[in-house]
């Protein structure tokens, strides 16, 4: 009857197993961008589209939507851990990296608020707590004994994250730094960790 639709088009070709790793990375990157632009409730289809893959691929790599968010956060946390583990790590420097991630990523902020009752899945909670603890361990490891905030480390982080609002990363960065200052803490350069 009608012209026969969409499906006979040429498929982009199966790039084989080699692409798998790349796809995963592309998805995480895409997720970070989409989350930043549209919040954590963005449709998964948008993430897949931006990553340039089909939705099936997303599900191959991540069992459900929480897993996607987790993967994004995982990266944030890992960078902080690396910054803290670096030989020349300084408290200021590590906080700078932490702050950069806070200012950068809506998802990362969401994490620190996740345990409130915001209708996220239970698994999500467990995972969030885990990530939170890893951040704490990393920070504590490089703070001098008896630091003013030692006993309230994650509380302070949560407070700063609360201050991190605003439309652009720049605004958010400024507010984050101001928040640390209000807590009597100086942070080093706000930037991602680069080896």
**Binding partner of residue 44 among its own copies, DNA, none, CB cut-off 5 to 8 Å per kind:** DNA
Q: How far is the CB of 164 from DNA (least distance, A)?
A: 24
DSSP the chain: -PPP-GGGSPP-----THHHHHHHHHHHHHHHHHHHHH-TT--HHHHHHHHTS-HHHHHHH-SSHHHHHHHHHHHHHHHHHHHHHSTT--HHHHHHHHHHHHHH-HHHHHHHHTTTTSS--HHHHHHHHHHHHHHHHHHHHHSPTT-TTGGGHHHHHHHHHHH--SSSHHHHHHHHHHHHHHTT-----------
**Residue from 30, 112, 135, 138 that binds its own copies (CB under 8 A)?**
112
Give the x-and-dash track for 49-88 against its own copies (CB under 8 A).
Answer: ------------x---------x---x-------------
Q: How far apart are CA 171 and CA 152, in angstroms?
A: 26
Residue for token pair 């099936």: 56
Cβ closer to its own copies: 24 or 88?
24
Closest alpha carbon to 137 in 192, 176, 195, 98: 98
If one asks whether residue 113 binds its own copies (CB under 8 A), the answer comes out as yes
**Binding partner of residue 85 among DNA, its own copies, none, CB cut-off 5 to 8 Å per kind:** none
* Residue span binding its own copies (CB under 8 A) among the ranges 15-23, 79-87, 89-97, 135-143: 15-23
Give the x-and-dash track for 152-191 against its own copies (CB under 8 A).
Answer: x--xx-xxxxxxxxxx----x--x--xx--xx--------
Q: What are the structure tokens assigned to 52, written together?
A: 């340039």
Give the x-and-dash track for 87-106 against its own copies (CB under 8 A).
Answer: -------------------x
Positions in the binding site for its own copies (CB under 8 A): 1-2, 4-8, 17-18, 20-21, 24-25, 28-29, 36-43, 61, 71, 75, 106, 109, 112-119, 149, 152, 155-156, 158-167, 172, 175, 178-179, 182-183
């Amino acid at each position: 009857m009608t012209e026969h639709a969409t499906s006979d088009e040429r498929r982009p070709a199966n790039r084989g197993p080699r692409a798998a790793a790349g796809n995963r990375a592309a998805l995480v990157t895409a997720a970070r961008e989409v989350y930043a632009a549209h919040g954590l409730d963005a449709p998964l289809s948008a993430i897949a589209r931006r990553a340039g893959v089909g939705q099936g691929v997303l599900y191959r790599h991540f069992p459900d939507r929480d897993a996607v968010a987790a993967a994004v956060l995982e990266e944030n946390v890992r960078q902080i851990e690396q910054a803290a583990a670096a030989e020349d790590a300084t408290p200021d420097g590590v906080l700078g990296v932490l702050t950069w991630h806070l200012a950068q990523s809506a998802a990362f902020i969401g994490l620190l608020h996740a345990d409130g009752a915001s209708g996220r899945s239970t698994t999500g909670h467990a995972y969030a707590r885990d990530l939170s603890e890893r951040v704490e361990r990393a920070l504590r490891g490089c703070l001098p004994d008896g630091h003013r905030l030692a006993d309230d480390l994650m509380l302070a982080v949560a407070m700063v994250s609360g201050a991190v609002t605003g439309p652009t990363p720049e605004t958010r960065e400024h507010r984050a730094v101001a928040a640390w200052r209000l807590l009597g803490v100086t942070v080093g350069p706000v930037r991602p960790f680069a080896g």
